[in-house]
Amino acid sequence: MGTAGDSLAGLRRDIAAIVTADRATEAISAQALEEERFPLGLPALDRAIGGGLRRAALHEVFADQPGDAAAARGFSLALTACAAFDRPVIWIRQDMIAREHGELHAPGLMEFGLPPESVVLLRMGDALQSLRAGHEALRCPALGAVVVELWGTPRALDLTASQRLGRAATKAGVTAFLIRTGMGAAPQPSAALTRWSVRAVPSAHLAAGAPGAPAFEIGLLLHREGYPPQTVRVEWNRDDRAFRKAALSRPVAASSGDRPLASPGRENRPPGWNVVPIHGDRHERTGWRKAG
């Protein structure tokens, strides 16, 4: 934690140590919550969507490919951390998702920038129940965010259901996220204010070829306020709870052409490490026949 001072979170921690922890975070969050939009941290992106995402609205997140479900969840988690800012979060998951993609892991949430003590997890049997629970949760204005995770394209999620969620979010002033992953999760008519598609991209590797910070390619598919669709590569900085522009990593550079990659610094690595040079086309995807 030596260089805590150079990150925003480090400064916050320092302040919290000086003043009492509670009052410091209260002051920050109260100030942040007064605005009706929350910034994502990447200036170009924030400008392109009118200064940030609208707080009291429904936002829908899709995985680009079935294999990108974790990336879609990670992006939503990042948005939730931005929106909630230490306020309580209600996270509603269908049981199917926990079976296919794993259960939420509290230390991992903390590492991602969302304190687990502010999360209330609801395990729901089916989509209808999840949507109803989401609607019920959105009646509570004290929340920072409500996240509803649905599997596939359930029949219960029609235009009316999303309208109800959106209206409830607007009325309570709480941000609602709808994460749609799993087999057959496809955009359909919905009342969500924004719709995003997320794809995992190779991260900027750290020293010794370790995977770096979470990196996504996020595509804004639809914005009801009229901002044009766009695609950005971003990296999540959990210390500042903000996105930043993705640093170019080697595989990204390689993906532009078909030429084989040079060995990524094998000589620098301790003997136990065996990151292999990569050949072949990055776009070649193996069939994802089984759910998940």
Partner 1 sequence: MAIAMNGRDGGKPAEPGSPSAPLVVVARIKSALRIVQADAHARRLGLRPGLTLADARARVPHLALADEDQAADLALRDHIADWCDRYTPLVGVDGEDGLQFDITGCAHLFGGEAELRDDLMARLAGQGFTVLSAVADTPDAARAVARHGRGGLVPSGTEREAVRPLPVAALDLEGQKLRALTRAGLTTIGDLASRPRAPLAARFGADLVDRLARTLGEAVHPISPRRPVPELLATRRFAEPIALMDTVLATLRGLAQELDAMLAQRGAGGRRFEASLYRADGAIRRIRIETGRPLRDAAIVIRLLSERIAALADPIDPGFGFDMIRLDVLAAETMTTVQSGLDGRQHDAESLADLIDRLSVRYGQARVLRFTREDSHVPERMARLVPAIAPEGRPDRAGGTWLQGQAGDPPAQPFCLFDPPQPIETLAEVPDGPPLRFLWRRVLHEIAAAEGPERIAPEWWRGAEGALTRDYFRVEDRNGHRFWLFREGLYAVEIKHPRWFLHGLFA
67 binds partner 1 (CB under 8 A): yes
Q: List the one residue from 19, 110, 253, 262 that touches partner 1 (CB under 8 A).
A: 110
Of 133 and 156, CB closest to partner 1? 133
What CA–CA distance (Å, rounded) separates 283 from 239?
32
Question: Is the Cα dihedral 23, 25, 31, 35 positive or negative?
Answer: negative
Q: List the one residue from 17, 159, 206, 253 that touches partner 1 (CB under 8 A).
A: 206
What CA–CA distance (Å, rounded) separates 132 from 273?
49
Question: Is the Cα dihedral 102, 105, 111, 117 positive or negative?
Answer: positive
Cβ neighbours of 63 (radius 10 Å): 22
Please, what is the minimum distance in Å from the beta carbon of residue 106 to partner 1? 3
Q: List the one residue from 34, 155, 226, 286 that touches partner 1 (CB under 8 A).
A: 286
- Side-chain-facing half-sphere of 174: CA atoms under 13 Å: 24
Of 154 and 264, CB closest to partner 1? 264
From 34-42, 50-58, 140-148, 161-169, span contacting partner 1 (CB under 8 A): 140-148
Find the binding residues for partner 1 in span 209-248 (CB under 8 A).
Answer: 209-216, 236, 238-239
3 binds partner 1 (CB under 8 A): yes
Identify whether the C-beta of residue 76 lies closer than 8 Å to the C-beta of residue 179: yes
Of 178 and 198, CB closest to partner 1? 198
Please, what is the minimum distance in Å from the beta carbon of residue 193 to partner 1? 23
Please, what is the minimum distance in Å from the beta carbon of residue 212 to partner 1? 5
What CA–CA distance (Å, rounded) separates 96 from 206?
35
Of 35 and 117, CB closest to partner 1? 117
What CA–CA distance (Å, rounded) separates 243 from 263?
30
Q: List the one residue from 59, 73, 135, 223 that touches partner 1 (CB under 8 A).
A: 73
84 binds partner 1 (CB under 8 A): no
282 binds partner 1 (CB under 8 A): yes
Burial 85-101 (b: 16+ CB within 10 A, else e): bbbbbbbbbbebbeebb
What CA–CA distance (Å, rounded) separates 71 from 198?
6
Residue 122 identity = L
Which helix (H) or strand (E) segment holds residue 253: the answer is helix 250-255
Please, what is the minimum distance in Å from the beta carbon of residue 34 to partner 1? 12
89 binds partner 1 (CB under 8 A): no
140 binds partner 1 (CB under 8 A): yes
133 binds partner 1 (CB under 8 A): yes
Find the binding residues for partner 1 in span 34-63 (CB under 8 A).
Answer: none
177 binds partner 1 (CB under 8 A): no
Beta bridge partners, 215, equal 235
17 binds partner 1 (CB under 8 A): no
What CA–CA distance (Å, rounded) separates 137 from 33?
18
88 binds partner 1 (CB under 8 A): yes
105 binds partner 1 (CB under 8 A): yes
